[in-house]
Amino acid sequence: MKCETKPFGKTAAGEQATLFTLKNDNGMSVSVTDFGANVVKICVPDKDGKVADVALGFDDIKGYEDNDNYLGAFVGRFANRIGGAEFTLNGVTYKLEKNDNGNCLHGGFGPYGIKMHEYEFVEDEDSIGIIFSRLSPDMEQGFPGNLDYSVTYTLTNDNEFIIEYFANSDKDTIVNFTNHTYFNLAGEGSGSVYDQLAWIDADSYTPTDAELIPTGEIAPVEGTPLDFRTEKPIGRDINADHIDLKNANGFDQNYALKTKAGDATLVATLRDPKSGRKMEVYTDLPGIQLYAGNFLNATGAKGGRSYKRGEGVCFETQYFPNSCNVKAFPYKPLKADEEFNSITVYKFVNE
């Protein structure tokens, strides 16, 4: 196993970014950058040994500086949407940045995905990784507390891409990290993922209003086109006559998982029958957002390509959207004397 480094361009502010490529002994590699701790490439062999990059992204730093689609993005301080761009903690109401129809999406303007991070390498007998870390200052994006956080990316010889989140704060605050990689198991730039098969181990989901803010209800998937408990093509029901699909222009829903804190459980899979590639998703978080790239419109991507609707799908492990404002949702703030930690694993196999 090894890690290769190379320059990844300079930011508009003149900061030099670096691309780190983790390689295992099976022909799989993962490339990440210290600019935003973004995931740039995930190269995986198919059933015949042919390697393809299954993660949508850009060839250099310029694309990630203006990454409105959040390709490969590490998201914080609070992933997904916060209704009205505000929350109340310890009797104080905090006003956040309104970057999505009057709501706060993925932390607001100036997200973690455009911040430079410090890094250090970690290596074991059967794995190699890199830790990106940064101090998010008190009231950055409107969130209280100096948040010392890190995200560790590890590649194993079992073809596991492991993401571990850690944080602590000097004040009570809210934290909800995720990764926003768009996957296409046929290879990025190969077209629609609608024929690829998804499975999600969830009996319920969180309905939303027209602005994609959860209503507070946890509703059953049974009898709806949102049911992925039996594996099916992503595109089969994406245009079905259902209010939540209409609100989101397709699949962009949070599923309530059966996980337990500290125990990474298999919660979802994605499979491409043609290449034989299959991705298994494990997490200890209570929710996962299935986003089928309904509003994907990224120009100047890898190889000069443009990505359009449906050319990638995200499996964003998370706390429920707006959970900081909905008491019925499984969430608790991060106390000043506590540590936040969580794990998500994307494991690749061939069938």
State residue 262's pLDDT score.
Answer: 85
Give the model's pLDDT for residue 120.
Answer: 98
- Count of domains observed in the chain: 1
Query: Residue 190 belongs to a domain with what CATH number?
Result: 2.70.98.10
Say what the pLDDT of residue 127 is: 97
Helix ranges (H only) for the chain are 61-65, 243-248
pLDDT the model gives residue 140: 97
Low-confidence ranges of the chain (pLDDT < 70): none
Confidence (pLDDT) at 337: 87
CA 88, chain centre distance (Å): 25
Question: Do 226 and 253 contact (CB within 8 A), yes or no?
Answer: yes
CB 77 within 8 Å of CB 65: no
pLDDT for 55: 98
* Domain assignment of residue 230, given as a range: 2-350
> Residue 16: CB partners within 8 Å, gap ≥ 6?
7, 10
User: What does the DSSP 8-state code read for residue 112?
Assistant: G
The one catalytic residue in 97, 180, 280, 311 is 180
Q: Distances in Å between the alpha carbon of 67 and those of 62, 81, 181?
A: 9, 17, 12
Structure tokens of 169? Answer: 């704060």
What residue has token string 């803010």? 213
Give pLDDT, residue 255: 98
242 annotated active-site: no
Q: Do residues 169 and 140 touch, judged by C-beta distance below 8 A?
A: no
d(CA 192, CA 258): 30
The pLDDT of residue 161:
98
Q: What pLDDT shows up at residue 252?
A: 98
Amino acid at position 183, single letter: F
- Per DSSP, the residues of 302-329 read GGG--B-TTS-BEEEEESPTTTTT-TTS
Contact 28, 155 (CB under 8 A): yes
The model's pTM is: 0.97
Question: What confidence score (pLDDT) does residue 277 get?
Answer: 98
Residue 236, CA atoms < 13 Å, CB-side half-sphere? 14
How far out from the chain centre does Cα 115 lie?
Answer: 17
Per-residue DSSP letter, 144: -
Q: Give tens-digit pLDDT for 131-182.
A: 999 999 999 999 999 999 999 999 999 999 999 999 999 999 999 999 999 9
Task: Map 241-265 to HEC letters.
Answer: CCHHHHHHCCCEEEEECCCECCECE
Whether 316 is catalytic is yes
